[in-house]
Amino acid sequence: MTSEKRETLAVILAAGKGTRMKSDLPKVLHTILGKPLVSFVIDACNEANVDRTMLVIGHEADLVKTTIGTDVEYTLQTEQLGTGHALMMAAKQLGDNYKGDVLVLVGDAPFLTGKIISELIDKHQQTAASATMMTAIIDPPPAYGRIVRDAKNRVTRIVEQRDASDDEKKITEVNTSHYCFRSEDVFPLLHTLGTDNDQGEYYLTDIIAMLADNNALIETITEDDPDVLKGINDKTQLLEAQEDLKCKKIESMRNNDVIIPDADQIFIDADVSVGSGTVIYPFTSITGKCSIGKNCIIGPQTTLKDTKLGDGCKVELSIIEKRNLQDNTHIGPFASVSGE
């Protein structure tokens, strides 16, 4: 084993329209708690100290660029011909001289964390594997690709459910579509991918079988909580994910001594920060780039948007937008204050 530290590039697949969302908006730009789906994945990469992050974009590419900004790199997939084709576009942009590890992630996985990504990268680099996959054990298995192993427990391939035999569909170890690849081993194989499958697409999963046929080292790391790896495919799942992430947000705030008497009656965006000792009363909405200091009283029936409050502030029955308020400022009741 080795502990070689290599440059790691995250390639986030974000080109699809997301037909099942029934919206012209790219799937990765649908929001949860005020934050685009793909931004959760980008933030997880930043938490894991990934060296570079690249989005593969296609549908409404300019809108994705405008929304996400310049902190990431982009490559264009003009035709959505599958996950393998998406990585081809990234490899083409990187060129033949890139020698590092490539983390491939889906852009609609809001529960992904920096800890999980770090574990995947560490396992990959410590073992010097050609490919390392994140898998999950789910029984009964969902409609994910199945991990096929040989008698020695070595991964031989991934078979998509639509292409799987009845016996293969019974396999409970599933692919989560999160990988770490050694670029030198995988990029040369991309041009050999074919489209002989049910979807007529270039499957990235076929790379695993190619590596296995070449006796390359393929490692896996199994996540104990498969829910953290689930993606979003329709608006029902989007709403369910929002409820789950709101619960996690509220729990984190309460663990930081924020007092929330009735969590069901407040709305708070994912990136809002709240200091300890602050009380948030019901029927309150806190959205956008909001920062609230310590020992504040917010609500009831209060709206804060893109606002910064110092320590000891009190805002009740009021609306504040785009303002910076100093310590111990009191607003309301029945006030409307805007910085515009």
Contact 279, 297 (CB under 8 A): yes
Which one of the listed residues 20, 154, 162, 254 is annotated catalytic?
20
Catalytic residue at 182?
A: no
Specify whether the CB–CB gap between 241 and 152 falls below 8 A: no
- Nearest-angstrom CA–CA distance, 115 and 223: 11
| Burial (0-12, 13-18, 19+ Cβ within 10 Å), 118 | middle
Residue 325 near residue 306, CB atoms below 8 Å: no
CB 203 within 8 A of CB 197: yes
Contact (Cβ atoms closer than 8 angstroms) between residue 58 and residue 29: no
- Rounded CA-CA distance 91/74 in Å is 12
Nearby residues of 249 by Cβ (< 8 Å), 6 or more positions away = 33, 268, 270
Q: Catalogue the active-site residues.
A: 20
